[in-house]
Amino acid sequence: MPEPIIDFRGVTKRFGEHVVYERMSLSVLPGETLTIIGGSGGGKSVCLKMMIGLLVPDEGQVLFHGTSVPDMPEEGLRQVRRKVAYVFQGGALFDSMTVGENIGYALREHTDWSMARIEQRASECLTMVGLHEGVAEQMPASLSGGMKKRVALARSIAIEPEVILYDEPTTGLDPKNIKRIGDMILKLQRELDVTSVVVTHDMPTARKVSNRIAMLYQRAFPFVGTADEMWHSAAPEVRDFIHGRIRRAEQSAPAHPVDAAEDSRGA
Ligand SMILES: Nc1ncnc2c1ncn2[C@@H]1O[C@H](COP(=O)(O)OP(=O)(O)OP(=O)(O)O)[C@@H](O)[C@H]1O
Ligand SMILES: [Mg+2]
């Protein structure tokens, strides 16, 4: 097994009395796309935040390339945040900046590049996420939900990250944009060779983009494996999770989640 890029070892995380993680372990391997699935309020966003030191565990270790993230000095954390892009839940663009300024933000913060070079890179990133470079002049408020998510993605790749963390990149989008974002995650993995962690509620997206899926259940990740291994797992908590999803999917759409995933893959 290769050396993990991010490694949680026996992590416990509490907020007051509320225990979100209890002796949780999870590894993110170089070049993989790992998807985290699990119920609302379970701790998926907390997990991503611990990866870059926005939250610290109460017990256990969070390692980035073998170095403890909570123990890093300010400069070390800055380096981690330079290498790890975080696409926040909800996109969170700066409303008072143009799209181009949003995309160039990290480059202004972390590099000494000229304005012209930053603008050039912003255009490249817009093209990479399938948007016209003219969009750079627009304000976020004028964009559709799907476009905002793609701009948030463009912003996260501007600085050529080693790792991209996506917090629910498809939530609230229509099927066409869900497919687009999934395609984009696959494309970035192939073309930029990035390692990705994707938090999603959407099983078809999980099946489509993941090398491995980690299922968050009762304060830990009792299942980590491929989509097929998950689908064929006999573990009761995994069966419960999958069948809960199927019931919910049947209520909202006629397609079986597996068929939907196969459809989007073939398309
Ligand atoms: N900064 C914080 N202070 C106190 N409690 C927090 C904080 N951040 C998260 N929590 C709590 O930790 C739990 C896990 O939160 P988290 O946001 O990780 O859930 P999630 O799995 O991302 O849910 P969702 O699918 O709704 O986004 C929740 O009960 C939340 O209220
Ligand atoms: Mg969340």
Name the phi and psi angles at 195, rounded to 5: -95, 135
| Interval between CA 118 and ligand 2 midpoint (Å) | 31
| Ligand 1 atom having least distance to the Cα of 201 | 25
Pocket test for ligand 1, best of 26, 37, 46 (most atoms within 8 A of CB): 46
161: in domain: no
Determine, yes or no, domain membership for 149: no
Q: In degrees rounded to 5, what are phi and psi of residue 210?
A: -85, 140
Whether 22 maps to a domain, the answer reads yes
What percentage of the chain carries pLDDT values higher than 70?
91
Say how many Å lie between the CA of residue 234 and the centre of ligand 2.
Answer: 27
- The total number of structural domains that make up the chain: 1
Q: How far is the CA of 129 from the centre of ligand 1 (A)?
A: 29
pLDDT one-digit tens code per residue, 24-40: 999 999 999 999 999 88
In a domain, 179, yes or no: yes
Atom nearest to 16 CA in ligand 1: 4
Identity at 106, one-letter amino acid code? A
Q: Which one of 102-111, 149-158, 207-216 scores highest in mean pLDDT?
A: 207-216
Is residue 2 situated within a structural domain? Answer: no
Domain membership flag for residue 25: yes
Residue 128 confidence (pLDDT): 85
Q: Which of 20, 86, 241 to mutate to test the pocket of ligand 1 (most atoms within 8 A of CB)?
A: 20
Q: Give the list of residues 6+ apart from residue 27 with CB closer than 8 angstroms, or none.
A: 4, 6, 7, 8
**Ligand 1 surroundings by CB, under 6 angstroms:** 15, 20, 38, 40-46, 89
pLDDT tens per residue across span 57-89: 999 999 999 999 999 999 999 999 989 998 877
Residue that the structure tokens 């330079």 belong to: 82
Pick 170 or 247 by higher pLDDT.
170
Ligand 1: distance of its center to the CA of 258 in Å? Answer: 29
Q: Which CATH number do you get for residue 255?
A: 3.40.50.300
Domain, as residue range, for 43:
7-94+169-266
pLDDT value of position 254? 44
CA dihedral (182, 185, 189, 195) in degrees, to 10, reads -120
- Cα Rg of the chain (Å, integer): 19
Closest C-alpha residue for ligand 1 atom 2: 15
pLDDT at 245: 64
**Domain assignment present for 48:** yes
Q: Whose CA is nearest to atom 14 of ligand 1?
A: 43
Is 158 within a domain?
no
Expressed in angstroms and rounded, the spacing between residue 3 Cα and the centre of ligand 2 is 27
Write the residue with the smallest CA distance to atom 29 of ligand 1.
41
pTM of the model: 0.87
Quickly state the pLDDT bin for 180 (edges 50, 70, 90): confident
